[in-house]
């Protein structure tokens, strides 16, 4: 016999309602931030537009800045998860390009909103939002470091490469590329193509610096052979 609606546990209903309310508040905040800008939007406006009490907004995030970061983190996490499901099986560069191309598409589809987001997360004025953002960056950094760990296991990068440092370098390149894209006026299709090309070129340079073990070994063998030949050539000939 199918369970009736009344048989659903009360805790389950409350949790479902909480998630729906949180989703509504975050979607409303996203819309207002995009339409009016972060500074001009107040938490009271968000509550009124969402049809909830003002205090309910602070159950989702303790401050407006933290709410901004939470909305951004959720959108970007969805992109990364979706890209991760279709991640190429090999080649760390192809994997990174695949993941970050999804993030670039998000920025390209919402350039105005992206500027609001980046401005908000790059210059914090209060510690709660900073803590939320730091947690987001740390989570994403661990994900990227995991990709480098797997690449080392496959022999694609040197075993001497520090995965956490490699992840930090990729994130720095990512921020640089996105800022350059959003500074274009306007960030059109040509700027979007340049964004992907700039990121890929930076990755290629990084990979040359990381060094592939087989290539490094080949260089060492070549140098040893050259040294041996040179040494033989310098030996005095016996008469």
Same-domain check for residues 106 and 27: no
233 is a domain residue: no
Q: Spell out, as residue ranges, where the chain has pLDDT lower than 50.
A: 1-4, 8, 214, 229-230, 233, 239
Same-domain check for residues 50 and 66: no
* Domain encompassing residue 23: 12-60
Which pLDDT tens digit goes with each residue over 56-82? Answer: 999 999 888 889 888 888 888 899 999
Cα angle 131, 134, 139; round to 5: 130
Q: Where are the alpha helices (DSSP H) in 110-212?
A: 111-122, 127-153, 163-182, 189-210
160 is a domain residue: yes
Q: Which residue has the tokens 């016996």?
A: 238
**Residue 238 confidence (pLDDT):** 52
Which CATH number do you get for residue 52? 1.10.10.60
CB 187 within 8 A of CB 111: yes
Under DSSP, the state recorded for 156 is S
CB 87 within 8 A of CB 97: no
**Residue 224 confidence (pLDDT):** 63
- How many distinct structural domains can be found in the chain? 2
| Spatial CB neighbours of 29, under 8 Å, sequence gap ≥ 6 | 41, 46, 67, 68, 71
CB 27 within 8 A of CB 49: no
Structure tokens at 52: 């909830």
161 is a domain residue: yes
Mutual angle of helices 64-84 and 127-153, in 10-degree steps: 20
Same-domain check for residues 79 and 22: no
Which CATH number do you get for residue 124? 1.10.357.10
Spatial separation of the C-alpha atoms in residues 32 and 21, rounded to whole Å:
16
| Spatial CB neighbours of 57, under 8 Å, sequence gap ≥ 6 | 25, 43, 46, 47, 50, 67
CB 192 within 8 A of CB 104: yes
pTM of the model: 0.73
């Amino acid at each position: 016999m199918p369970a009736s609606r009344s048989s659903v546990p009360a805790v389950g209903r409350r949790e479902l309602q909480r998630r729906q309310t949180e989703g509504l508040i975050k979607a409303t905040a996203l819309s207002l931030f995009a339409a009016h800008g972060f500074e001009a939007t107040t938490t009271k406006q968000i509550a009124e537009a969402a049809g909830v009490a003002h205090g309910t907004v602070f159950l989702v995030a303790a401050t407006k800045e933290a709410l901004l970061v939470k909305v951004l983190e959720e959108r970007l996490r969805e992109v990364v998860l979706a890209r991760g499901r279709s991640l190429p099986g090999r080649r760390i560069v192809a994997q990174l390009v695949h993941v970050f191309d999804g993030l670039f598409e998000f920025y390209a589809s919402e350039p105005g909103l992206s500027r609001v987001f980046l401005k908000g997360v790059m210059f914090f004025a209060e510690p709660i939002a900073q803590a939320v953002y730091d947690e987001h960056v740390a989570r994403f950094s661990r994900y990227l470091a995991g990709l480098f760990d797997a690449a080392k296991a496959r022999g694609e990068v040197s075993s001497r490469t520090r995965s956490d440092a490699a992840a930090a370098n990729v994130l720095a390149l990512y921020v640089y590329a996105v800022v350059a894209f959003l500074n274009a006026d306007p960030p059109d299709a040509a700027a979007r193509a340049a964004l992907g090309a700039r990121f890929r070129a930076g990755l290629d340079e990084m990979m040359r610096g990381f060094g592939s073990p087989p290539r490094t070994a080949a260089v060492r063998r070549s140098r040893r052979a050259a040294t041996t030949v040179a040494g033989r050539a310098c030996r005095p000939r016996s008469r």
